[in-house]
């Protein structure tokens, strides 16, 4: 990238406050920026960080300009825009365009069953395995090492990255992205103890992934025992997440890495789960709820509430308990002092009692 601040401002519909003629050669984050860099001022970034910024130009939302002191405004050239992150992404993709999607068709080095039906514009790469009775839509990508089990149904514009395993009869909606190493449709962890051993319960359901879902690398989605395990439209699942059998995940949920849902959990729409949150079986999480990172959930979470802790509790209650826990060392010290004082007072009272008895 070699462009002036003025040219970049015009590209993203911004207004320059400072040196419009400064030459910019790259796009980067605020912490990595130097005088040749354009970056952006994030929503949560405190204004004081501008005072030490080394960037040549910074994208900032118009409404935040009033928050800045005069020294902060004059540290470097600012470009005011409607949405700083959108403008940053636009310039970043200009500098680092995505590789063009190749058109290789159906590789002769892939294994594709004769009964599979594959739409126009779909790429099946060398080393992929497409089983019998599979239906794949148009403009999909099935990368090397992917396994598509019998009876699977993939809609249009689906991306299956290397090493993905789709067990039989999995349904995947339009524009879904399944990242490397993910397994979808394995049997759930369902057993009953009989005659001194764990007897497998058959899992004869399937998995239904709705449109615009993205599932991170090395995640696992188990098939239902009777019905489908469902991942709702637009949901985003990070790496190393487990969704167990019979779960029904709502629309536009977002789960960070290492979240685990035990069997038969349900979530509403727009649920957020922080990393390593663990949800016990048969727990229901209401629409718009937030689950704190590292928390353990054994009870239903009402819609719109934020819970955290282990076991998890409503936010205000959990915060009070956390504050109380931090005070325990001081409270313990105070109790020891009180205990000594009580012992001393008790001894004095016993002495006085003995004197009275003697009199």
Q: Are the C-beta atoms of residues 156 and 139 closer than 8 Å to each other?
A: yes
Residue 179 is a catalytic residue: no
- HEC string for 34-62: CCCEEEECCCCCCHHHHHHCCCCEEEEEH
- At residue 104, the 3 state secondary structure works out as coil
Q: In whole angstroms, what is the distance from residue 307 CA to residue 321 CA?
A: 13
Q: Hey, which residues does 248 pair with through a beta bridge?
A: 230, 266
Q: In whole angstroms, what is the distance from residue 153 CA to residue 160 CA?
A: 13
Under DSSP, the state recorded for 320 is: H
Q: Are the C-beta atoms of residues 123 and 102 closer than 8 Å to each other?
A: yes
Set 203, 245, 252, 282: catalytic member: 245
Q: In whole angstroms, what is the distance from residue 186 CA to residue 166 CA?
A: 8
Peptide bond between residue 85 and the one before it cis (omega within 30 degrees of 0): no
Task: Give the largest Cα separation in the chain, rounded.
Answer: 112
Instruction: Name residues whose C-beta falls within 8 Å of residue 38's C-beta, 6 or more positions apart in sequence.
Output: 5, 8, 24, 26, 27, 55, 56, 57, 58, 59, 79, 91
Cα torsion at 66, 69, 71, 77 (round to 10°)?
Answer: -20
Residues with active-site annotation? 245
């Amino acid at each position: 990238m070699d462009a002036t601040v003025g040219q970049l401002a015009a590209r993203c519909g911004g207004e320059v406050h400072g040196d419009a003629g400064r030459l910019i050669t790259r796009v980067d984050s605020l912490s990595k920026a130097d005088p040749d860099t354009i970056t952006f001022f994030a929503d949560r970034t405190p204004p004081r960080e501008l005072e030490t910024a080394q960037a040549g130009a910074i994208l900032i939302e118009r409404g935040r300009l009033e928050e800045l002191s005069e020294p902060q405004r004059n540290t470097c050239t600012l470009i005011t825009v409607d949405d700083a992150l959108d403008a940053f992404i636009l310039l970043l993709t200009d500098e680092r365009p995505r590789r063009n999607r190749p058109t290789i068709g159906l590789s002769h080095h892939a294994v594709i069953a004769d009964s599979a039906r594959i739409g126009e514009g779909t790429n099946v790469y060398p080393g992929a395995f497409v089983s019998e009775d599979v239906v794949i839509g148009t403009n999909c990508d099935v990368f090397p090492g992917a396994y598509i089990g019998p009876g699977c149904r993939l809609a249009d514009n689906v991306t299956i990255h290397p090493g993905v395993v789709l067990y039989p009869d999995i349904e995947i909606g339009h524009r879904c992205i399944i990242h490397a190493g993910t397994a979808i449709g394995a049997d759930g962890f369902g057993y009953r103890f009989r005659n001194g051993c764990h007897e497998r319960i058959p899992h004869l359901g399937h998995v239904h992934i709705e449109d615009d879902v993205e599932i991170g690398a090395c995640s696992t989605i188990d098939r239902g025992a009777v019905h489908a395990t469902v991942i709702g439209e637009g949901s985003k699942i990070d790496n190393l997440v487990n969704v167990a059998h019979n779960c029904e995940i709502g629309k536009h949920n977002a789960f960070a890495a290492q979240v685990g849902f035990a069997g038969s959990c349900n979530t509403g729409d727009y649920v957020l789960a922080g990393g390593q949150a663990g949800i016990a079986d048969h727990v229901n999480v209401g629409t718009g709820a937030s689950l704190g990172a590292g928390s353990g959930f054994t009870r239903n979470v009402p819609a719109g509430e934020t819970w955290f802790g282990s076991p998890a509790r409503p936010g205000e209650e959990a915060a009070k308990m956390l504050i109380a826990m931090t005070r325990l060392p001081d409270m313990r010290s105070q109790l020891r002092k009180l205990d000594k004082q009580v012992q001393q007072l008790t001894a004095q009272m016993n002495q006085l009692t003995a004197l009275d008895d003697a009199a």
